[in-house]
Amino acid sequence: MSHTESETPDAAEVASHGRPVIRLRPKSKPQAIRHGFPWVFADEAVLDRRTKALPPGGMAVLEDPERQALGLVTVNPASKIIARVMDSDPQAVIDGAWLRARLTRAQDLRARIYDTPFYRLVHAEADGLPGLVIDRFGDAAVIQPNAAWADGMAEEIADALIAVTGVTTVVVNGQGRSRGLEGLTERLEVIRGTAPTAPVPVAMNGATYLADLLGGQKTGLFFDQRPNHAFAQRLVDGGSVLDVFSHVGGFGLAGLAAGASQALCVDGSAPALELARGGAEAMGATDRLEVMQSDAFDALETLAGQGRTFDLVVCDPPAFAPSKPALEKGLRAYERVAKMAAPLVAPGGYLVLCSCSHAADLTAFRNASARGIGRGGRRGVLIHTGQAGPDHPTLPQLAETGYLKALFFRLD
């Protein structure tokens, strides 16, 4: 028996109401949980053999070192985040009724904001459903169960989702880095309704995007950039647009919808660019869209060698700094993007630089971007700082929920 086990033999005992207990270590900070922080890291909890034996995704009562209940948590001993707060009531029952209540609250918020059934319906901890992401595409929804409890309750989540929203198709897209950190295997399946036979057309900001719910990245479309697309449209004024890391045409198609004379979308994925072409066709803008399948850095170098410039240049890369250990390398990559993109902006034009890395905070990203612009031989002013739309609410206590940053520069 380890020293920890001998000191705290009852750390995972069964509470009086029949639930296991997980207890914070004496030197932990239970006030953070009381003030709304939703996670308990493994080094903050007493880890005896019974705690480690709790099933991933199971429920337990979280107690402070003085054995005062802090709430109900879902536990995953295989994760660095050993517990996630589900409910402040330690006696809450996580069942269909509980799920429907949480989903109704999330749905009510989106219904107030949007007059379209295309949005992020659940943004994980910020909507009180830790580790769960749900994007809605009209009559279909894609769920990403990135925590063990959500993966185990996918069927119940689907039923609650149908009851609350009336969707008829539910896709589980269990892929990505987050699931690996939780010890979960990948899965991709339609668990309610029938598989979509074609990409789903999504209208946003006057543009039409095609979302591949089964073969696309993440859930098939990134709703988070919607307000930044709209701001970028105000800068187009009939000019040309370069959209690097474009995915299915995010900023490029938005620019065409706002009257851009030409848009060049650059991405490494041929299927994504084909969807961009389909979106342009649906908008009647095929003749104004150019695509380039290429590594983004290679494309920036090629375009510079050709002497091309654009009135609006947008770079929206994947997360270069997905975690703190990757921060320094990621910031160098963001700086490099800015350095290579800045010379492609026409005099008096605009450069938009985006980051979806939660490990890189706004100040660090802004500084890296400014350094890159300077190294690219340009000077400019920051005219706007954007973030994700209100369907991606931010939990103030959890920086990870406010991951997206978009910097809009006007260059001399």
Report pLDDT digits (tens) over 89-113: 999 999 999 999 999 999 999 999 9
Q: Are 251 and 341 in contact (CB under 8 A)?
A: no
For residue 174, which amino acid is it?
G
Closest CA relative to residue 27, chosen from 6, 41, 10, 9: 41
pLDDT tens-digit map of 11-28 = 445 544 578 999 999 988
Give the strand order in the sheet containing 58-63: 21-23, 58-63, 69-75, 81-87, 39-41
User: What would the mean pLDDT of 145-166 be, rounded to a whole number?
Assistant: 97
Task: Report the C-alpha gap between 316 and 136 in whole angstroms.
Answer: 22
pLDDT value at residue 5: 37
Please, which pLDDT band fits residue 149 given cuts at 50, 70 and 90? very high
Category of 293 on φ-ψ map: left (φ > 0), alpha (ψ -120 to 50) or beta: beta
Q: Are 46 and 23 in contact (CB under 8 A)?
A: yes
Task: Report the C-alpha gap between 368 and 376 in whole angstroms.
Answer: 12
User: What would the mean pLDDT of 304-332 be, rounded to a whole number?
Assistant: 95
CA–CA distances in Å: residue 312 to residues 123, 185, 229, 231, 309: 30, 41, 12, 12, 9
User: What would the mean pLDDT of 26-32 be, rounded to a whole number?
Assistant: 86
- Taking 70 as the threshold, does the pLDDT of residue 147 lie above it? yes
Domain 3-87 shares a fold with domain 201-411:
no
Higher pLDDT, 372 or 1: 372
Q: Which listed residue (265, 315, 354, 356) is catalytic? A: 356
Residue 84: HSE in the Cβ half-sphere, 13 Å Cα cutoff: 25
Task: Report the C-alpha gap between 209 and 201 in whole angstroms.
Answer: 6
pLDDT tens-digit map of 287-299 = 999 999 999 999 9
**What is the overall mean pLDDT for the chain?**
93
Task: Report the C-alpha gap between 182 and 130 in whole angstroms.
Answer: 12
Q: Are 345 and 378 in contact (CB under 8 A)?
A: yes
Task: Report the C-alpha gap between 307 and 233 in whole angstroms.
Answer: 25
User: What would the mean pLDDT of 348-371 be, rounded to a whole number?
Assistant: 96
Task: Report the C-alpha gap between 336 and 359 in whole angstroms.
Answer: 18
DSSP state of 80: S
**Exposure of 329 by Cβ count < 10 A (0-12 exposed, 13-18 middle, 19+ buried)?**
exposed
pLDDT tens-digit map of 341-351 = 999 999 999 99
Question: Which CATH class, in words, describes the domain spanning 96-192?
Answer: alpha beta
Task: Report the C-alpha gap between 249 and 246 in whole angstroms.
Answer: 5
Tokens 């706007």 identify what position? Answer: 384
**Exposure of 177 by Cβ count < 10 A (0-12 exposed, 13-18 middle, 19+ buried)?**
exposed
Domain positions in the chain: 3-87, 96-192, 201-411
Higher pLDDT, 385 or 27: 385
CA–CA distances in Å: residue 78 to residues 19, 20, 37, 83, 153: 20, 17, 20, 10, 18
pLDDT value at residue 11: 44
Instruction: Give CA 211 to chain center in angstroms.
Output: 16
Task: Report the C-alpha gap between 211 and 333 in whole angstroms.
Answer: 28
CA–CA distances in Å: residue 16 to residues 13, 21, 48, 75: 9, 10, 20, 19
User: What would the mean pLDDT of 276-282 be, rounded to a whole number?
Assistant: 98
CA–CA distances in Å: residue 272 to residues 214, 292, 353, 368: 13, 11, 20, 28
Q: Does domain 3-87 have CATH number 3.30.1110.20?
A: no
- Does the annotation count 356 as an active-site position? yes
**Cα angle for residues 258, 299, 217 (degrees, 5° grid):** 65
pLDDT tens-digit map of 39-70 = 999 999 998 888 889 999 999 999 999 999 99
Gyration radius of the chain's alpha carbons: 23
Please, which pLDDT band fits residue 3 given cuts at 50, 70 and 90? very low
pLDDT value at residue 13: 53
CA–CA distances in Å: residue 264 to residues 3, 149, 189, 228: 62, 42, 34, 18
pLDDT value at residue 20: 93
Closest CA relative to residue 119, chosen from 301, 388, 328: 388
Question: Which CATH class, in words, describes the domain spanning 201-411?
Answer: alpha beta
